[in-house]
């Protein structure tokens, strides 16, 4: 994103300071330019203006996930999942975060939900398999993490 485009979005936001979409777009522009602090600030501003705006929840969650701030990213993805329950990308990111936090059964549940939307996606099956492999008692898991024994 060029400096001119960022300036144009900043001007648009000054003219319409209550516009959560412009704030989110400015966050995207800052993220593309590598200014992650300003990007996060813009996403947060968008969420102050529209707390249930799923694109800002998702984008801020991605940014925090990329910064390994999983404790902050997880609730954003959970909220995004409440708003758009069938969103495969949200489910996958939430599943990955849960697995990184050693909550493999919960992560596997998210991957299973994502597979309902994309049953032929080999990457999702791989994520589910990796999560299931880490669950100590796979018999206690619902929906398909059978032991090979």
Q: How many domains does the chain have?
A: 2
| Predicted local confidence at residue 138, as pLDDT | 62
Task: Give the domain-ending residue among 84, 108, 136.
Answer: 84
Q: What is the 3-state secondary structure (H, E, C) of the chain?
A: CCHHHHHHHHHHHHHCCCCHHHHHHHHHHHHHCCCHHHHHHHHHHHHHHCCCCHHHHHHHHHHHHHCCCHHHHHHHHHHHHHHCCCCHHHHHHHHHHHHHCCCHHHHHHHHHHHHHHCCCCHHHHHHHHHHHHCCCCHHHCCCCCCCCC
| Predicted local confidence at residue 2, as pLDDT | 79
| Predicted local confidence at residue 149, as pLDDT | 32
Task: Give the domain-ending residue among 62, 84, 106.
Answer: 84
| Predicted local confidence at residue 136, as pLDDT | 82
| Distance of alpha carbon 82 from alpha carbon 101, whole angstroms | 20
| Distance of alpha carbon 92 from alpha carbon 96, whole angstroms | 6
69: domain CATH number is 1.25.40.10
Task: Give the domain-ending residue among 84, 119, 137.
Answer: 84
The parent domain of residue 36 ranges over 1-84
Render pLDDT for 55-100 as a digit per residue (tens, 0 to 9).
Answer: 999 999 999 999 999 999 999 999 999 999 999 999 999 999 999 9
Q: How far apart are the first and last CA of the chain?
A: 53
What band does 28 get if pLDDT is binned at 50, 70 and 90? very high
Q: What is the mean pLDDT of residues 116-143?
A: 86
| Mean of pLDDT over the chain | 92
């Amino acid at each position: 994103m060029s400096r001119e485009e960022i300036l144009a979005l900043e001007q648009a936001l000054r003219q319409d300071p209550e516009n959560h979409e412009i704030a989110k777009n400015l966050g995207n522009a800052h993220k593309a330019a590598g200014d992650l602090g300003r990007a996060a600030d813009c996403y947060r501003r968008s969420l102050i203006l529209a707390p249930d705006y799923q694109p800002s929840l998702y984008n801020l969650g991605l940014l925090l996930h990329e910064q390994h701030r999983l404790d902050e990213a997880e609730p954003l993805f959970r909220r995004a999942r409440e708003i758009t329950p069938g969103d495969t990308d949200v489910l996958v990111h939430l599943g990955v975060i849960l697995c990184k936090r050693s909550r493999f059964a919960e992560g596997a549940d998210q991957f299973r939900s994502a597979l309902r939307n994309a049953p032929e996606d080999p990457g999702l099956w791989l994520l589910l398999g990796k999560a299931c492999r880490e669950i100590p008692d796979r018999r206690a898991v619902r929906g398909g993490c059978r032991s090979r024994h």
